[in-house]
Chains A and B, each alone.
Chain A
């Protein structure tokens, strides 16, 4: 049993934004970038149980990754156990391994970038200090995975530079992406299926737009703006905090009780 002392808790920004359902609406941005990475696409295509329903796969795995930010337990062995068999050769003939620190960190950074985009688009504009604070909290989240932090940039501006550079040099269009195309732009599962398809196009990263060959029109951006306004109502609906661990942790914090470890009684 570990009690982390890394600043993640009810007073961190990360705890509130990660649990926000609107984050799920932005995930097609992150996952599109991930599937343009030949190694990551091959890993999912060859090893994932739900390879044909990418959002059901993400519902299981991404939920678990988010749990890491709220858990008091040492989750590092689980990350290793669930990834160590994921290896092979990708469509370009390169070897890949899911626990390769560079590939692994890119997965995380795509989620971080989408989180920041979500907050800026759906919640409020963050200033430079807030960007830095949120980024540092995301670094604390990453350290809980137990994978080498060598590729992790130290500050937010360096991260932006790293991320854009990585997308430019490592992502390619090709056969590895095509099986997932329809599900990215027209999700059929989980909360992303509530997002209008034009808004999903408008949410894409510029590099993803370039590689997938989609066009983002003014109407798509208008759709996104309308959806952003509609999505504010999410906070009024049940399960606005979509992740059950996050819900439990936040409600425990609200009642001023110490956080319970994962799996402990919470009612």
Chain B
């Protein structure tokens, strides 16, 4: 699959579409991904989170998991979890479904559906607590840990949306940010926990990034995820190199350091060119196709609730 990335990179270089680099914004350097050239924006109207639902964004999923688990309480909580039914390494496809479904419900679901998902997640979270043997203290109901995970999910949508549809204006970014709050408030995060403005979110993000740490246990776990060690080897062979490339590409430099993975300027160029190409292609794909994964996830969750079946 990686050869496609190289072909697209060569194509864009031949066409000479890219212009010179912009000055890097201060403050978030290192804690957020930096892209020299975004695809041009077509509109200045308000942007909701529903606009950001797009199947291409799955490319950033593993990177987002890395960011979430970089907080020691989250990392050890996930790695040490004794809950088998949702364990990433045991049931990877189920975990993909449940995580994506949570995000779909948070954005598209009604109050009743959110409550049903919260109840289901609470059952699993209740069992995720540190023991005397854990290197760090954690509890899955800890609202600070949950806020960090929700913040990562917001960053997921913001990064993928801007790569695919162009950089948002300040007003658009503000509205987009407020739409993202249910990503946390669907569980135990409260609305007043979210930094009130987009600018304050940057402050929260950067301050929190200073406190992140990753030890060998969490790093090994994440590298097994990035290398797709838990799925069928036949699928793994073509997918793992591509996922690795996309994951490191979507990781801000600070997280690359934590994970200990290399990233070269050539790869950065390939990554940016890939998304310039994808964003152009994407404009010609009708919306119902781009959001088909969310349509299926929502239909599935409604079916499960109607039939009293297991959500997670």
B192 at the interface (CB under 8 A from A): no
Contact of B127 among A59, A73, A78 (CB under 8 A): A78
- Cross-chain contact A262 with B308 (CB below 8 angstroms): no
B86-142 residues at the A interface, CB under 8 angstroms: 87, 89-91, 119-120, 123, 126-129, 131, 133
- Cross-chain contact B85 with A81 (CB below 8 angstroms): no
B79 at the interface (CB under 8 A from A): yes
A235-267 residues at the B interface, CB under 8 angstroms: 244-245, 262-263, 265, 267
Q: Bound complex: CA of A88 vs CA of B221, how far in Å?
A: 40
- Cross-chain contact A74 with B133 (CB below 8 angstroms): yes
- Cross-chain contact A265 with B90 (CB below 8 angstroms): no
Q: Bound complex: CA of A74 vs CA of B128, how far in Å?
A: 14
The smallest C-beta distance from A97 to any residue of chain B, in angstroms, reads: 16
A contact residues around B84 at 8 Å (CB): 63-64, 67, 244-245, 262
**Chain A contact residue count (CB 8 A cutoff):** 25
A contact residues around B309 at 8 Å (CB): 53, 56
- Cross-chain contact B126 with A85 (CB below 8 angstroms): yes
Contact of B224 among A56, A67, A265 (CB under 8 A): A265
Q: Bound complex: CA of A262 vs CA of B84, how far in Å?
A: 9
- Cross-chain contact A265 with B131 (CB below 8 angstroms): no
- Cross-chain contact A77 with B229 (CB below 8 angstroms): no
The smallest C-beta distance from A6 to any residue of chain B, in angstroms, reads: 18
CB closest residue in chain A, given B122 = A49
A contact residues around B123 at 8 Å (CB): 49
- B contact patch SS: loop
Assess A77 versus B126: contact at CB under 8 Å? Given A50-B310, A60-B85, A262-B82: no
The smallest C-beta distance from B100 to any residue of chain A, in angstroms, reads: 20
A31-71 residues at the B interface, CB under 8 angstroms: 49-50, 52-53, 56, 59-60, 63-64, 67
A contact residues around B119 at 8 Å (CB): 49
Q: Bound complex: CA of A75 vs CA of B308, how far in Å?
A: 29
- Cross-chain contact A63 with B87 (CB below 8 angstroms): no
- Cross-chain contact A73 with B82 (CB below 8 angstroms): yes
Assess A81 versus B133: contact at CB under 8 Å? Given A49-B123, A60-B85: no
- Cross-chain contact B229 with A56 (CB below 8 angstroms): no
A82 at the interface (CB under 8 A from B): yes
CB closest residue in chain B, given A59 = B310
B233 at the interface (CB under 8 A from A): yes
The smallest C-beta distance from A249 to any residue of chain B, in angstroms, reads: 13
Q: Which of B120, B131, B230 has the most CB of A within 10 A?
A: B131
B contact residues around A67 at 8 Å (CB): 84
CB closest residue in chain A, given B87 = A263
A1 at the interface (CB under 8 A from B): yes
The smallest C-beta distance from B64 to any residue of chain A, in angstroms, reads: 21
Q: Bound complex: CA of A59 vs CA of B94, how far in Å?
A: 15
- Cross-chain contact B82 with A50 (CB below 8 angstroms): no
- Cross-chain contact A244 with B120 (CB below 8 angstroms): no
Q: Bound complex: CA of A53 vs CA of B133, how far in Å?
A: 36
A contact residues around B127 at 8 Å (CB): 78, 81-82
Q: Bound complex: CA of A73 vs CA of B79, how far in Å?
A: 13
- Cross-chain contact B229 with A267 (CB below 8 angstroms): yes
- Cross-chain contact B120 with A49 (CB below 8 angstroms): yes
The smallest C-beta distance from A200 to any residue of chain B, in angstroms, reads: 21
Q: Bound complex: CA of A64 vs CA of B87, how far in Å?
A: 12
The smallest C-beta distance from B227 to any residue of chain A, in angstroms, reads: 10
A contact residues around B85 at 8 Å (CB): 60, 63-64
B204-239 residues at the A interface, CB under 8 angstroms: 224, 229-230, 233
The smallest C-beta distance from A33 to any residue of chain B, in angstroms, reads: 24
Contact of B308 among A50, A73, A85, A244 (CB under 8 A): A50
CB closest residue in chain B, given A57 = B310
The smallest C-beta distance from A92 to any residue of chain B, in angstroms, reads: 27
CB closest residue in chain B, given A248 = B90
What are 16 of the A-B contact pairs (CB < 8 Å)? A49-B119, A49-B123, A49-B310, A50-B308, A52-B308, A74-B131, A74-B133, A77-B82, A82-B127, A85-B126, A244-B84, A244-B91, A262-B84, A263-B79, A263-B89, A265-B89
Show the binding face of A for B, using Cβ within 8 Å. 1, 49-50, 52-53, 56, 59-60, 63-64, 67, 73-75, 77-78, 81-82, 85, 244-245, 262-263, 265, 267
Show the binding face of B for A, using Cβ within 8 Å. 79, 82-85, 87, 89-91, 119-120, 123, 126-129, 131, 133, 224, 229-230, 233, 308-310
Nearest 4 CB-CB pairings of A with B: A78-B82, A52-B308, A77-B131, A81-B127
